[in-house]
């Protein structure tokens, strides 16, 4: 544990990179109230991918936080949440996409999106859009009402808050600074990443 | 609308079949308190698959019922719920699997599972296990508490209750009679299907 690699994600952008087993990824919200979508694939076999359904099932909660393990579709450990300074994140919703902006907000034409940014940045690892599952939406604040309806509120993250995740396998990881107005309290902000190798 | 095709699923089994655009699938719980996991793929391109994340997002609820549309990962309509005699179904959890029984219940050795039954019955359509996403778990009764924790109760379905879904594309569909003790109030029962073409 000596080397630190840093990535700065400008608002409404994304990045793809390799995260080795045992390495720790810190996802930082430098200004507060910004969401960061995360997805992961097994490096040597991307047919193994981060599974919201298995992670929710095995942890018996929709709100994953410190100490929880994130599992693959093959029920293998992928990432462990080592530290969480916020405590509220979403694992129900797919990343925002061009189609989402059209269907939910009647926006036609190009709109930057987490899905688009993940596709662009994961292509270098041979991962295509159809392989991107429900993302782990760090800092996204989603409540489930008694009838099952969802309410998206401003993230609870304040400037400098972060989450740390340890890779349990050699992974390909995609991370974004989210492009959805509603998820980020209507102001797009950057996301900072640090990888401790 | 003249032809009716029927499938009888013995307890802890599954089936795969083609469902044409406009055809209606009725999923029947003949004895009550039995869960049936459903998954769907676009027939001419199985890289398009039923997406829990997009369906939950676009309907803004975790509980899908009459009138709701189920979407693909590509944000296209796949199935419309025409009628729902129960009103409580799960779209958060992955199908039960050998690994789930090991991780959650310490069961070693073979245990029939929805995941295994889907893999077996979808192989004829060239669909592999790693392509199976979170299933739509019809009649499965999952509550989300205020802290996000999940409680699985007996299904609310009584003998003869059903859900009807219309295909919005030509689909490959997989359906099970669930193999998980906890989901079915500790007794395994059959599931009946009717396809109205």
B118 sits in which H/E element: helix B114-122
- Identify the pLDDT of residue B133: 97
Tell me the pLDDT band of B109, cut-offs 50, 70 and 90.
Answer: confident
Mean pLDDT along residues B25-49: 98
Tell me the pLDDT band of A95, cut-offs 50, 70 and 90.
Answer: very high
What whole-number percentage of chain A has pLDDT above 90? 95
Q: How far is CA A80 from the centre of its chain?
A: 14
Contact residues on chain A for B38, CB-CB shorter than 8 A: none
**How do residues B50-69 score in pLDDT, each as one tens digit?**
999 999 999 999 999 999 99
Contact residues on chain B for A73, CB-CB shorter than 8 A: 94, 130, 132-133
ipTM of the complex: 0.96
Query: Given CA atoms A181, A171, B129, B125 in this order, what sign does their dihedral have?
Result: positive
CA–CA gap between residue B28 and residue B126 (Å, rounded)? 27
Q: Give chain A's domain count.
A: 1
Whole-number average pLDDT of chain A: 96
Question: CA nearest A73 in B: which residue?
Answer: B130
- Identify the pLDDT of residue A1: 55
- Per-residue pLDDT for B96 more than 60? yes
Mean pLDDT along residues B186-194: 96
**How do residues A110-139 score in pLDDT, each as one tens digit?**
999 999 999 999 999 999 999 999 999 999
- Identify the pLDDT of residue B42: 98
Q: List all residues 6 or more positions away from B146 whose beta carbon is below 8 Å from its beta carbon.
A: none
Domain range for A45: 4-196
Closest CA to B154 of B118, B136, B176, B178: B178
Closest CA to A104 of A44, A180, A164, A33: A180
First to last CA, chain B: 5
Question: CA nearest B137 in A: which residue?
Answer: A53
Does residue B52 sit at the A interface (CB-CB below 8 Å)? yes
CB contact under 8 A, A53 and B52: yes
What whole-number percentage of chain A has pLDDT above 70? 99
Mean pLDDT along residues A143-170: 97
Q: What angle do helix axes B114-122 and B98-105 make, rounded to 10 degrees?
A: 170
Contact A146, A159 (CB under 8 A): no
CA–CA gap between residue A33 and residue A48 (Å, rounded)? 31
- Identify the pLDDT of residue B1: 56
Contact residues on chain B for A54, CB-CB shorter than 8 A: 94, 100
Contact residues on chain A for B133, CB-CB shorter than 8 A: 53, 73, 133
Tell me the pLDDT band of B2, cut-offs 50, 70 and 90.
Answer: confident
Q: How many CB atoms lie within 10 A of CB A99?
A: 17
List the structure tokens of A90: 């979403």
CA–CA gap between residue B11 and residue B21 (Å, rounded)? 28
Tell if the pTM clears 0.80, that is, is over it.
yes
Query: A–B: how many Cβ contacts below 8 A?
Result: 107
Does residue A146 sit at the B interface (CB-CB below 8 Å)? no
List the structure tokens of A10: 């400008």
Does residue B107 sit at the A interface (CB-CB below 8 Å)? no
Contact A54, B130 (CB under 8 A): no
């Amino acid at each position: 544990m000596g080397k630190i690699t840093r990535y700065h994600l400008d608002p409404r952008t994304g990045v793809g990179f390799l995260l080795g087993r045992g390495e720790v990824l810190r996802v930082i919200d430098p200004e507060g109230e910004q969401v960061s979508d995360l997805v992961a694939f097994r490096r040597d076999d991307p047919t193994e991918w981060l599974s919201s359904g298995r992670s929710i099932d095995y942890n018996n909660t929709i709100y994953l936080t410190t100490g929880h393990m994130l599992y693959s579709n093959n029920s293998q450990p992928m990432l462990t949440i080592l530290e969480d300074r916020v405590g509220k994140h979403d694992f129900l919703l797919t990343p925002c996409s061009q189609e989402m902006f059209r269907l939910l907000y009647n926006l036609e034409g190009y709109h930057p999106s987490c899905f688009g940014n993940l596709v662009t940045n994961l292509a270098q690892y041979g991962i295509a859009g159809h392989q991107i599952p429900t993302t782990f939406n760090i800092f996204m604040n989603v409540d489930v009402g008694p009838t099952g309806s969802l309410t998206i509120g401003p993230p609870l993250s304040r400037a400098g808050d972060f989450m740390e995740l340890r890779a349990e396998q050699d992974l390909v990881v995609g991370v974004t600074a989210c492009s959805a107005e509603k998820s980020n309290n209507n102001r797009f902000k950057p996301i900072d990443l640090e990888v401790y190798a």
